[in-house]
Structure 1
């Protein structure tokens, strides 16, 4: 089963969850804002996995971050769905969770 690290405050994470739900994709959602251990686990992953290097350079949080059963980590949830020809569900929140206004 996939594990999705994210936050209920993040529009991208909410859209990822909604899209996974709509497409019947099984996952466990870990809200990094609800538990310090979960936040620490996410930060260790983000700070040691090169998949996050580009995101850290642009001051991105790196969520949603999805961990596959084999331990592979990816952040392109939209690409994951597109590769499988599955529709993406978007809700326009009219807000952003980054300082520059470009998303999480």
Structure 2
């Protein structure tokens, strides 16, 4: 099962979350629903090098995927999902370009 860290208010997350509705291969973990989920995500973000680039540009690093073998990726295509087109609607970063 692929763990998918998202947040309800993130447009990138909402876009890919729709693609996995009813798919038992994905466990959707909303980091805004419970502090335990947020802490779990922050621990991963603070310790895994997959987030280095996202942190360098001020992005949070969601959606984030953790594969069964422990591989962490921030790229939806790596798990067979289509990312939200960047010219489609709002963004949640401070500079308005990403999440």
Partner Cα separation in structure 2 for residue 66 and residue 26 of structure 1: 12
Q: What SS is found at the alignment partner of 2:16?
A: helix
Partner of 2:16: 16
The unaligned stretches of length 5 or more in structure 2 are none
Cα 1:17–1:66, aligned 2, differ >3 Å: closer, same or farther?
same
Judged with a 3 Å threshold, the aligned counterparts in structure 2 of structure 1 residues 89 and 48 are, in CA distance, closer, same or farther, namely closer
Shift of 1:79: 4.2
Computed over aligned residues only, the root mean square deviation of the Cα atoms, in angstroms, reads: 2.3
Where does residue 63 of structure 1 map in the other structure? 62
Q: Name the counterpart of 2:97.
A: 102
Matches within 5 A, 1:11-90: 11-21=11-21, 24=23, 26-81=25-80, 88=82, 90=84
User: Structure 1: 5+ residue runs without aligned partners?
Assistant: none
Q: Normalising to structure 1: TM-score of the pair?
A: 0.82
Partners of 1:11 and 1:93 within 8 A in 2:
no
Which whole-Å CA distance do the structure 2 matches of 1:18 and 1:71 have between them? 24
Would the aligned equivalents of 2:12 and 2:83 in 1 still touch at CA under 8 Å?
A: no
Q: CA deviation at 1:90?
A: 4.7
Residue aligned with 1:3, SS = strand
Name the CA distance, whole Å, in 2 between partners of 1:73 and 1:94.
Answer: 27
